[in-house]
Amino acid sequence: MYCSEKCQKEAWPSHIFDCQPGQPINTAYRLYKACLQDAIPTDEETREDYGFTKAARTMGGRSKTMLGGLYAGLFFFGARIPPKDVHKWRLKGQLVQKIKDSFEPLPPDVRGLYYPWFLEHQSVLEVAVPDDELIVDHTSSIIRSAWIKAGGSPSDSLNVIDTKIRGLSPPRQACHILYRGFSDSGHPNPVQDQWIDFGFVATLNSTEECDLGVAYQALARVCTFEEFCVAHESSSIPTLFERYGLQCTLHFRDVMAHSPYTRKSVWDLKHYVDKLKAGTPGDDTSEVTPVRSVTADYGYMNCRKDGDGKLLDTAYKRYFAHALADPIALHEACIQGNLFKYLTPFAQWKASQKIAYARLLKTPYPLPQPFEYAGITCNGNVTVYIGGPPGPETASTSSA
């Protein structure tokens, strides 16, 4: 069902992600949403379906931008093709021809700059048997490039590189994984641990996300890998940004203040919501679960009935999508025991849902006495017991 007739008629291709009508949503809608945000799709299925993976593998990073511009022109200018039609074209193997059919009737000066590029590179959308050898070569090139940038020997084999990296501490391994993304002109996505460990979870929209990715890549060009690793291990990456004249937001500083060791559990809540949003609506998201500190701090421990978890998911999705969302303020509301009151203006729950939300958002806070680790996630094999040793009266802030 549509949430309203107006939504159905005017904004369904984008609003479908909020309505969640209960049926799988195809990747054409994810492509549409990315174009609407002037961004490149981040989920692998969409990137694969619409040529971004092949373009990056065979032509480099700029090709993804050109391909994105082509689809934006298809959706928003000229013929204004709806996502459902693009989906049908792809399934029938007609994507290349139908794109041509859509642009050719337009005057040349209206077709834009991306269509001429497409005519010269249309093979990127032609269906072909995957070239496994080419894929392996591209992946190997990324791994080797990142390894050399990190100071590794160019003569090391992939097996040697893998063995050496596995022997490093988890924070150093994370730095190597991050640098691999840089080698492919990319940055972490929400399903990766690096999304939270390196502060991307602090971004509240695609513009902030891209800006942070660009800043990290600029940093990698001017500082040594050792310098970067030391900064990560000592929770001082914001200081490293400043040293090289790079800007960072208050939220980024907050996430990174003690990363990768501890952080406010609100950032794990945001990471959880980001992972839910990154999946294709309609997919089975049962494997995406909040970490224990989020379960304790943000009401998920109160889920007893079918649908309770979805109610909380919806409330937090709406909160983080709001223009006035402030994760630090949400954290303060959490440890003061004011989640229900604080979230009410943001969550837009129905009158019939208030009793359920009041029950779900009841937490152990505020604590009877100040506690340093209230509302904190500790990484690693660490469990901090609030109120003393384990017992029936002790709550806990646990490791992620």
SS3 call for 73? helix
pLDDT at 191 (0 to 100): 87
Tell me the pLDDT tens digit for each residue of 155-167. 999 899 999 999 9
Q: Which residue has the tokens 């949003």?
A: 277
Q: CA 119 to CA 135: how far, in whole Å?
A: 24
SS3 call for 398? strand
Residue spans per domain, the chain = 5-125, 132-260, 264-398
Q: CA 115 to CA 104: how far, in whole Å?
A: 9
pLDDT at 394 (0 to 100): 37
Phi-psi region for residue 260, left (φ > 0), alpha (ψ -120 to 50) or beta?
Answer: alpha
Half-sphere exposure of residue 335: CA atoms within 13 angstroms, side-chain side = 19
pLDDT at 10 (0 to 100): 46
Helices and strands (DSSP H and E) totals, the chain:
23, 4
Tell me the pLDDT tens digit for each residue of 152-211. 999 999 899 999 999 999 999 999 999 988 887 778 888 899 999 999 999 988 888 888
CB 327, CB 280: distance < 8 Å: no
CB 209, CB 175: distance < 8 Å: no
**CA triple 154-157-158, angle to 5 deg:** 110
Tell me the pLDDT tens digit for each residue of 330-355. 999 999 999 999 999 998 888 888 99
Residue ranges in the chain modelled with pLDDT below 70 = 1-25, 60-61, 127-136, 279-286, 380-400
Q: Which residue has the tokens 């960072």?
A: 248
Q: CA 123 to CA 88: how far, in whole Å?
A: 19
Joined together, the tokens standing for residue 96 give 């290349």
Burial pattern 103-133, b for ≥16 Cβ within 10 A else e, equals beeeeeeebbebbebbeebeebbeeeeeeee
Q: CA 169 to CA 379: how far, in whole Å?
A: 14
pLDDT at 379 (0 to 100): 77
Predicted TM-score (pTM) of the model is: 0.67
Report DSSP letters for 245-299, one per residue: T----HHHHHHHTSTTTEEEHHHHHHHHHHHHHHSPTTS--TT----HHHHHHSS
Residue 325: name the closest of 336, 317, 334 by CA.
317
CB 330, CB 273: distance < 8 Å: no
Q: CA 125 to CA 47: how far, in whole Å?
A: 11
Q: CA 388 to CA 393: how far, in whole Å?
A: 9
